[in-house]
Chains A and B, each alone.
Chain A
Amino acid sequence: MKTKTAPVAVDVARPRPGPLALLAGARRGRRKLGRRVVPYVFSLPFLTLFAAFFFLPFAYAISQSVFKQQRSGLGLGPPTTIFVGLDNYAKALRDPQFWDGIKRVLLFGAVQIPVMMLVALALALLMDSAVIRFRRFFRLAFFIPYAVPGVIAGIMWGFFYSPSFSPIRQLATTTGLPAPDFLGPGLVLWSIANIATWEFTGYNMVIFFSALQAIPQEIYEAGRLDGLNEVGIALRLKLPMILPALVLGLLFSLIGTLQLFNEPLILTRLSGSITSHYTPNIYAYNVAFVDTDYYYGGAIAVILGLVTFAFSFGFLRLTRRQSGV
């Protein structure tokens, strides 16, 4: 039941063997060879891009990460580059600023991902089973934030959070409530979480909803015959059916969280609480690009890549049985 409509296409489109088929035998040898080469030809553009823009840069980052720039005297002469082996990696693993960032994104993910996923899932289930009118409107409304680039969203929410523009604070002051300091040290992480939630809840919801819509109706009939109520159907039948979509959604959220970059970078100008090592990605950027230590920055980036890989790979292994991804 991969796709219930595919067989229809087969029935309609299956061609009858024609006279060409008879001729084909003579060319079989050549075509066999062709068939062996063709997949490589099809994959070649991708593999070329992969080599040029993934493999080479990654290898280059690794090759840089075992060097270090060395100055001498007053440091005003041109620096020399020396080989330091794995020193940069050892330094990163002991670097409290790096771990500070890792801890922060893990905390961020532990709160933001479940909240976003539960809301998205609840909305999708509600829309699938209880809401018939305005579906198009709701789906578009939820999806629009996804179409807003992260940087634009950051600028926009920056206005929303900043004391002199914020309509929320304006509302709070007029009603006499204490105006929240969205950019203060206590709240700023959750202000960023809100931006991420705003951007991606609708996206996940639409994916879940589409998956729900693809479930064949006969299953529900069977469920109802078994005496399940709507909640039961949602939890016992629908949820397991859309597990692959859930797993993919979770996976992308996890990767996105570990790579958190644009939103805090844009808010840096507005909030003193966002340090140069606020997230590991911002730290890698600052070390490599601002402090121009490409070598140490490379090591941090490689570790971050491995951590992300480990997390997501582990997650995939963990869920493989259920999800079939």
Chain B
Amino acid sequence: MADVPAVLEARRREHDERERRGVGVGVRALGPKNLLAYLALGAVAVYCLTPIYWLALSATKNNTDLFSSFGLWFAHFNLWQNLRDTLTHSDGVYIRWIGNTALYAGVGAFAGTLISVMAGYALAKYRFVGRGLIFTLVLGAVLVPQTTLALPTYLLMSKVSLTNTYWAVLLPSLLNPVGVYLARVYATAGVPDDLIDAARVDGAGEFRIFTRVALPLLRPGMVTIFLFQFVAIWNNFFLPLVVLSDPNLFPINLGLATWNFDPASHELLYNLIVTGAFLSVLPLIAMFLVLQRYWRAGLAFGSVTG
């Protein structure tokens, strides 16, 4: 069973190789025929990257230049000062926000992924009473807007004194119906029944089968679920807005929004907002880069008709 990761590794290498070679109905080199395609993709890439470029550039400007210099080129280079100001403003609260966001998104996505995969695996691999019901619940939860629930969640949470604590953001973030849905798809497709049966015959317990057989096979899928949940928590604005009142518990986006909206603070924080926004995007990009070979494989899983 120790071979399973190796098999996955081989599969991934094959996938990468195929992609690099560009096997498809491919034309193998640059030519006039696909020049248009490159132009189209290039144009969209410019569209996608220009705001990021603007953000990076603006992080190097002071407030006056932000207002007055041309937005798509450098002015007086003020990046180091901006970084210092961003990280030290209000007793360095921005650093806390980074830590909080990492905690909410990191712990939330990690635990949430495990919970989703356990449920998805159960739905895919066991026949049991209530299975259909659970699956319907999952679908229902996917389809009902989450913002609908933030306010009642808040009111209920305050009855058990959970508001304005880390738990207030962390616990609801663990619920990820889409993750269960995906995990079920991945488990159905990626964990063969005869493999499980064989393990049973071998005397392995159900938990052991889950941890030693299913989890390694589900790894690319789990990375995908993890990433999507990570981004979703990182993105979540409404829930922290409602349940938190202590700025020391805020995630980055809520913190930056309060800097953006605060007429009573008597100072212009645009350079800090821009620098803070730029900094907050970097870890996500880094993570996508590091984990990309995993989630690509995960995305392909189950999205093809059989």
Contacts and interface: CB of A to CB of B under 8 A. Distances in A.
A108 to B, nearest CB: 15
A45 B119 contact: yes
Interface stretch (A13-21, A78-86, A89-97, A177-185): A13-21
B189 A155 contact: no
B260 interface: yes
9 contacts: A9-B217, A13-B195, A45-B118, A61-B149, A165-B67, A201-B44, A210-B303, A211-B300, A298-B152
Interface in A21-57: 21, 23-24, 27, 31, 34-36, 38-40, 42-43, 45-47, 49-50, 52-54, 56-57
Interface of B: 1, 3-4, 7-8, 11, 15, 18-19, 22-30, 33-34, 37-38, 40-41, 44-45, 47-49, 51-52, 54-55, 58, 66-67, 70-72, 115-116, 118-119, 121-123, 126, 128, 130-131, 134, 137, 139-149, 151-153, 155-156, 171-172, 174-175, 177, 180, 188-190, 192, 194-195, 198-203, 205-207, 210, 213, 217, 231, 234-235, 237-238, 242, 252-254, 256-257, 260-261, 273-274, 277, 280-281, 284-285, 288-289, 292, 296, 299-306
User: Chain B binding site: helix, strand, loop or mixed by DSSP?
Assistant: helix
A213 B298 CA distance: 12
Contact of A324 (B242, B252, B284, B305): B305
A88 interface: no
A308 B144 contact: yes
B156 A165 contact: no
Nearest to B141: A54
B259 to A, nearest CB: 9
Interface residues of A, number: 130
Contact of B58 (A18, A159, A298): A159
Given A8-B7, A9-B4, A45-B119, A149 B234 contact: yes
Contacts of B70: 167, 170
A214 B303 contact: yes
Nearest to A21: B201
A164 interface: yes
A313 B11 CA distance: 36
B71 A57 contact: no
Contacts of A294: 151, 155
A66 interface: no
A313 B144 CA distance: 10
Contact of A170 (B71, B156, B195, B292): B71
Given A144-B48, A149-B253, A301 B194 contact: no
Given A49-B175, A142-B48, A298-B152, A1 B289 contact: no
A47 B134 contact: yes
A312 B122 contact: no
Contacts of B260: 155, 266, 269
Contact of A131 (B38, B48, B189, B234): B38
A134 to B, nearest CB: 8
Contacts of A21: 201-203
Contacts of A133: 30
Given A144-B52, A304-B148, A132 B285 contact: no
B227 to A, nearest CB: 9
A163 to B, nearest CB: 11
Contacts of B24: 128-129, 217, 220
Contact of B149 (A9, A42, A53, A211): A53
Contacts of A6: 189-190, 192
B193 to A, nearest CB: 10
Nearest to B174: A49
A249 to B, nearest CB: 9
A323 B149 CA distance: 30
Given A131-B38, A152-B256, A258-B145, A142 B304 contact: no
A245 to B, nearest CB: 4
A43 B203 contact: no
B305 A210 contact: no
B263 to A, nearest CB: 10
Interface centre among A13, A23, A206 (most CB of B within 10 A): A13
Given A8-B11, A159-B274, 16 more contacts: A9-B8, A10-B195, A15-B199, A27-B203, A39-B123, A40-B128, A43-B134, A57-B153, A130-B34, A140-B289, A141-B45, A149-B280, A155-B256, A207-B299, A245-B304, A298-B152
Contacts of A159: 54, 58, 274
A317 B28 CA distance: 41
A284 B144 CA distance: 14
B126 A38 contact: yes
A126 interface: yes
A276 to B, nearest CB: 16
